[in-house]
Amino acid sequence: MVKIGIVGCAGRMGRMLVSEIQNSDKATLAGGTEPPGSPFVGQDAAALAGAEPAGVVIGDDAEALFDISDAVINFTAPAATVVHAALAAETGTALTVGTTGLSENDFSQLKTAAERTVIVQAANFSIGVNLLLGLTEQVAGILGDDYDIEILEMHHRHKVDAPSGTALALGEAAAAGRRVDLGSVAQRVRDGITGARASGDIGFATLRGGGVVGDHTVLFASEQERVELTHKAASRAVFAAGALRATLWTEGRANGYYTMRDILGFS
Ligand code: NAD
C-alpha cells in the first residue's frame, strides 16, 4: 500500500482525493493538512470527505506530512504549491501537482524541485482531457492557418483563475501542432474595438457560472466549415481518480518532471 498525504485536504478537490484514497485497495491515507488557523485543523479528514472516519486528523505541519508519506498530492494554491515542491525535494517525497494558475516562475521552481524527487504535474488529470490535448495538437497540425483556432471554457462560479489551466494547455497543444509559440499568438481577452482577427491567432473565451465542473471546446473555423472538439467533465471524481493513478505511477520512478502524457503513454 502506498502511503499518500493530501495537502489542502479540506478543499473541494482535497475531499475528493481523500475519498478516492479511502476507496482504493492500493493506497492508504497518510494524513492531510490545511494552513495554520484553518477551522478544519483537528477534524477527521475522512469524515470531512463524507467517508467513514479514519482516525486521520487534519494537521497544519506540511513538513511532518511529507516525512511520513510515500507521496503527496497537492491541489491548493500557487504560493502553497511551490512551498510544497521544495518540501518534496528536501524529503525526497514524490509530489503530484494539480494546482492551476501557476506562473512561469512557479513552473521553474517545480522543475528545479524535480531534480531531487519525482513530480507529476497536470492542469487536468482527466484521461478524456488528455486525449483531447493529443487530438488538438494533431488536428492543429493538419488544418492550416485557414482555420482559426478558438478555445472556449466554462467552469463553476468559485474558480479564481482564467483562462483555465486546461484551456491554456489546449492552447499550448494547438500551438505545438502549428509549430508556433503560444505566447506570440495567444489572444486571452477581447474587449472593445479589437480590430479584425489576425490570422494565426489562438483565441480564448471564458465563461463562469453555477456548478459546472469543467467544459472545454477547441474550435477550428474556416470560411466553409467548423470542426469542434469538446470535453465535458461530469464530476470532480474524474480528476481525483486521474491524480491517484498518477501518484501510484510515481512509485520507483527516477527523479524528474512528468506529465499525464508520460503516465498515459501519449508522449
Ligand atoms: P479549494 O479552494 O476548494 O481548495 C484548496 C484548498 O487548499 C483549501 O482547502 C485551502 O485551505 C488549501 N490550502 C491553501 N494553502 C494551503 C497550504 N499552504 N497548506 C495546506 N492547504 C492549503 O480549491 P479546489 O477547487 O479544490 O482547487 C484547488 C486547485 O486545483 C485549483 O488551482 C484548481 O484550479 C485546481 N484543479 C485542478 C484540477 C486538475 O485536474 N489538475 C481539477 C480541479 C481543480
For 161-210, write each residue's pLDDT tens digit. Answer: 999 999 999 999 999 999 999 999 999 999 999 999 999 999 999 999 99
Ligand 1 pocket, residue 13 CB under 6 Å: yes
Ligand 1 pocket, residue 14 CB under 6 Å: yes
CB atoms closer than 10 angstroms to residue 178: 20
> What spacing in Å lies between the alpha carbon of 239 and ligand 1's midpoint?
12
Ligand 1 pocket, residue 66 CB under 6 Å: no
Residue 164 in grid coordinates: 483555465
Ligand 1 pocket, residue 33 CB under 6 Å: yes
Ligand 1 pocket, residue 100 CB under 6 Å: yes
CB atoms closer than 10 angstroms to residue 135: 16
Domain ranges of the chain: 2-121+236-264, 127-233
CB 49 within 8 A of CB 15: yes
> What spacing in Å lies between the alpha carbon of 151 and ligand 1's midpoint?
24
Query: Does this model's pTM top 0.85?
Result: yes
Cis peptide before 53, with omega less than 30 degrees from 0? no
Which CATH class, in words, describes the domain spanning 2-121+236-264? alpha beta
Among the ranges given (29-33, 130-134, 244-248), the one the predictor scored with the smallest mean pLDDT: 130-134
Which CATH class, in words, describes the domain spanning 127-233? alpha beta
Which listed residue (3, 111, 156, 159) is catalytic?
159
pLDDT score of 267 more than 70: no
156 tagged catalytic? no
CA distance 231 to 209: 17
pLDDT at 226: 98
Model confidence over 246-256: pLDDT tens digits? Answer: 999 999 999 99
Q: Which residues touch 196 (CB under 8 Å, ≥6 apart)?
A: none
Name the residue of 75, 87, 124, 159 to mutate for ligand 1: max ligand atoms within 8 A of Cβ: 75
- Pairing mode, strands 202-208 and 186-187: parallel
Q: Which residues touch 77 (CB under 8 Å, ≥6 apart)?
A: 8, 99, 101
> What spacing in Å lies between the alpha carbon of 99 and ligand 1's midpoint?
6
Name the residue of 12, 232, 244 to mutate for ligand 1: max ligand atoms within 8 A of Cβ: 12
Closest ligand 1 atom number to CA of residue 33: 20
Q: Which is it for the CA torsion 102, 236, 30, 34, positive or negative? A: positive
pLDDT at 252: 95
